[in-house]
Amino acid sequence: MNALVTGLQGIMQTVGRGFLEKIAAFGQGSLFIFSLLLTLPSALLRVDLLLKQIYVAGVQSLPIILMAGLFVGMVLSLQGYNILVEFNAEEAVGSMTALSLLRELGPVVGALLFAGRAGSALTAEIGLMRSTEQISALEMMAVDPLKFVYAPRFLAVVIALPLLVLIFNALGVFGGYLVSVSWLGVDDGAFWSQMSSQVDWSEDVMNGVIKSVAFGLLIAIVALFQGVNAIPSSEGVSNATTRTVVHSSLGILGLDFILTSIMFN
């Protein structure tokens, strides 16, 4: 009987401790994000740091975004053509490709790739900076890591992703053009005119941009939070990097559904 009571007590203690730790982590995370947001205006003034981070997060992600955009556009138009041609509506392949890209695939696939490429790198970098005491060293040199390390990276991610998504979309449309017009023989004029008549600037293009800004915020928060809270060891940093990719990818897909239901309902 006593053993049962002790066992139950043990389980309750474990559950209770775990729950309290989760609440504490959530509180710490919220405080961190709140203080980070407060430092963003001053981080905008450090143009040198910001540009460097935009280069690291944005420019260095360009090759993967360019390649992916091109292939996604090519596949989309190939599949679209095969279906539309049965209804003699193959001219609509341009508008179909563009709408799919602008509304969904551009922001979502772009953000998923960006989370894998730049989000994971960000977490690993911050985790390693902490484990090699670089963050502590900055604090000791009276340089606030919030302003010097975290805020520029946060801003860079939020600025870079929408730009990358726009480039992704442009390349996707170009890929669609290559396949449907140059290869499958869809009429050039019909391809572009259908697209321009169907695509709406604010409903399609801007909603896509708003989505990518939201995904950028999500990736930046997840990647920074995981980096800052990574256990300072090789295993800890590797786990945190994995969590960044998993959490931000699932977050992107979930958030996309919510945003789509608000925007296109």
Partner 1 sequence: MTENTEALIEIKNLTFSRGSRKIFDDITLSIPKGKITAIMGPSGSGKTTLLKLIAGQLQPDSGVVTVEGLNVHQLSRKKIYQLRRKMGMLFQSGALLTDLNVFDNVAFPLREHTKLPAMMIDALVLMKLQAVGLRGAKNLMPSELSGGMSRRVALARGIALDPEMIFYDEPFVGQDPITKGVLVKLIKTLSDSLDLTSVMVSHDVDEVMQIADYICVISEGKLIAEGPKETLLNESTGYVNQFIKGLPDGPVPFHFPSVPYLDDLGESQKRGGVR
Given the complex with partner 1, which of 148 and 154 has the nearer CB atom? 148
Q: How far is the CB of 27 from partner 1 (least distance, A)?
A: 15
- Helix and strand counts by DSSP (H, E) for the chain: 12, 0
Given the complex with partner 1, which of 79 and 134 has the nearer CB atom? 134
Does residue 14 touch partner 1 according to CB under 8 A?
no
Long-range contacts of 259-263 (CB under 8 A, 24+ apart): 259/207, 259/210, 259/211, 259/214, 260/103, 260/104, 263/203, 263/207, 263/210, 263/211
Does residue 45 touch partner 1 according to CB under 8 A?
no
Helix (H, G, I), strand (E, B) or coil at 220: helix
Q: How far is the CB of 121 from partner 1 (least distance, A)?
A: 13
Q: How far is the CB of 55 from partner 1 (least distance, A)?
A: 12
Site string for partner 1, 143-162 (x = CB under 8 A): xx---x--------------
How many Å apart are CA 56 and CA 64, to the nearest integer?
13
Exposure letters 53-70 (e unless 16+ CB within 10 A, then b): bbebbbeebeebbeebbb
Q: How far is the CB of 19 from partner 1 (least distance, A)?
A: 16
Q: How far is the CB of 139 from partner 1 (least distance, A)?
A: 6
Given the complex with partner 1, which of 132 and 242 has the nearer CB atom? 132
Q: How far is the CB of 228 from partner 1 (least distance, A)?
A: 14
Given the complex with partner 1, which of 123 and 207 has the nearer CB atom? 123
Angle at 220 between CA 139 and CA 201, to 5 degrees: 145
The residue count for binding partner 1 (CB under 8 A) is 13
Residues 107-146 that bind partner 1 (CB under 8 A): 132-134, 136-144
Given the complex with partner 1, which of 128 and 263 has the nearer CB atom? 128
How many Å apart are CA 76 and CA 91, to the nearest integer?
14
Distances (CA, A) of 226 to 181, 219, 238, 241, 244: 45, 10, 11, 7, 6
Binding stretches for partner 1 (CB under 8 A): 132-134, 136-144, 148
